[in-house]
Amino acid sequence: MRHVLKTIFFIAPLLPACGDSGQGKDPTDTGSGPGIDSLNTLGSDGASDSTASGGASEATTATTDGGSEGSATAATVTASEPTTTTATTGPDETTSTSTTFPQTASSLPDTTGFEPPQCDPVMKATVRDFRTSHPDFETFGGDAAYEGLVQQDLGPDSKPVYAHPGGTPQTTGPAEFAQWYNDTPDVNMAFEIDIPLTEVSPGQFTYQNNAFFPIDGQGWGDEGNPHNFHFTTEIHTEFTYQGGEVFTFTGDDDLWLFINGKLAIDLGGLHPQLTDTISLDENAGYLGITIGQNYTMDIFHAERHTTDSNFRIDTSIQCFVIPG
C-alpha cells in the first residue's frame, strides 16, 4: 500500500500538464487554455496573410491549416507574429472599395445612347486595269444607255449580277463580265484611289473630273493611247438617310448605283456622257429605306472605250461612312 500511495503522489503533479495538452478537453470549449488560444492566434495570422493577398477563401484555408498544426507550433507562431492589425484592415479596405465604386461608375461615359457615325467626305474606290485585248473593252460602241445588263438586286458578294445567259449588244457574256469587279490574275490589276467630295454650296457635295484617268501609266500601261482608257471603278460606302436627299451621276461609260442592295441608277453600256438622278424620298418604298437609318451605297463604273472619260457625282447626302 505504501508503494501504491507513493506512486499516486508521484503521478498526481503530472496530471495538469497532461490536461494542458488537450487530452480529455472539450474541443468546443472557448476557455483560455493555451492550446485553443494558440489556434485562435494562428487563425488570426492566417486571416492576416490571406487578407494581404486579397482572398477570403484563402483565409479559411489558412485557419484550417492552423487548426491542424500542433499546439507547440501554434505557440511558436504566436510568439513570432504577435501583431494582428492586418486582420482588421481587410474589412476597412472592402468598405472603402464599396464606397468609391459608385463614384468610379458615375465617371464612365454613357454608352447607352446612339453614337453618331463618323462622316468621311472621301469615298474609297478600287480601280481595276484591263488590257485593250479584253473582249469587253474597245469592242462595243453606242449612243445611249443600255439598261438591264445587271439584275435589280445586288449579289450576296456585294457585286452586280449579270442578267443574261449569254452576250448582249454591249457585252460578251457572263464569264467576261464576272471579271470586271473581281481580281483576276493575268486579266486585271487592282489599285486603290480616293474620290473626294467637296461641299460646293450648303448641303451640296460634288466630285467632278472630266478627264477621269486615275491610273495613267500604271497596270498594263496606256498601250499606245494618250491615257489608260480601259478600267473599272468600284465603290462601297454607307450613308445616313435624313430625308430629302438626291443623288446624281454624270459620266461614261457604264454606271450602276445600288442603294440598300437595290438598283437605283442604270446607265449601263457604252455611251457618251449621260446623267441620271435618284430621289431617295420618291423611291424610299422601292429602296426599303427609312429616315434616320444607315444604308449601303455601292457604285460600279466602267471606262471601256476611247476617247473621253467623265466621272461626276452631285448629291445632297451629307454623311458618307466607310464600311467597318
Q: Which residues pair with 281 in a beta bridge?
A: none
How far the first Cα of the chain sits from its last, in Å, is 105
The DSSP call for residue 205 is E
Nearest in space to 150 (alpha carbons), one of 138, 140, 159, 141: 159
Q: Phi/psi at 271 (nearest 5 deg)?
A: -165, 160
Taking the C-alpha atoms of residue 323 and residue 124, their distance in angstroms, rounded to an integer, is: 10
Whose cell is 479559411? That residue is: 60
Contacts of 259 (CB under 8 A, 6+ apart): 247, 278, 280, 287, 289, 295, 296, 297
Amino acid at 304: R
Predicted local distance difference test score (pLDDT) of residue 70: 36
Predicted local distance difference test score (pLDDT) of residue 116: 59
Q: Give the number of residues written for the chain.
A: 324
The three-class DSSP label of residue 239 is strand
Taking the C-alpha atoms of residue 68 and residue 74, their distance in angstroms, rounded to an integer, is: 10
Predicted local distance difference test score (pLDDT) of residue 322: 79
Q: Phi/psi at 175 (nearest 5 deg)?
A: -65, -45
Q: What is the DSSP string of 70-107?
A: -HHHHHHHHHH----HHHHHHHHHHHHHHHHHHHHHHT
Per-residue pLDDT of the chain (324 residues; tens, 9 = 90+): 344 334 333 434 444 443 444 443 343 444 444 333 433 333 334 333 433 333 333 333 333 343 333 333 333 333 333 333 333 333 333 333 332 223 333 333 333 344 556 889 999 999 999 999 999 999 999 999 999 999 999 999 999 999 999 999 999 999 999 999 999 999 999 999 999 999 999 999 999 999 999 999 999 999 999 999 999 999 999 999 999 999 999 999 999 999 999 999 999 999 999 999 999 999 999 999 999 999 999 999 999 999 899 999 999 999 998 786
For residues 149 and 168, the answer to whether their CB atoms sit within 8 Å is yes
pTM for the model: 0.66
Predicted local distance difference test score (pLDDT) of residue 132: 96
Q: Which residues pair with 296 in a beta bridge?
A: 238
Q: How far is CA 163 from the centre of its chain?
A: 35
Contacts of 309 (CB under 8 A, 6+ apart): 211, 212, 213, 227, 229, 251, 252, 303
Taking the C-alpha atoms of residue 244 and residue 282, their distance in angstroms, rounded to an integer, is: 9
Instruction: Kindly list the structural domains of the chain, giving each domain's residue range(s) and its CATH number in brackets, ordered by start.
Output: 15-97 (no CATH), 122-321 (2.60.120)
The three-class DSSP label of residue 317 is coil
Predicted local distance difference test score (pLDDT) of residue 323: 81
The three-class DSSP label of residue 175 is helix
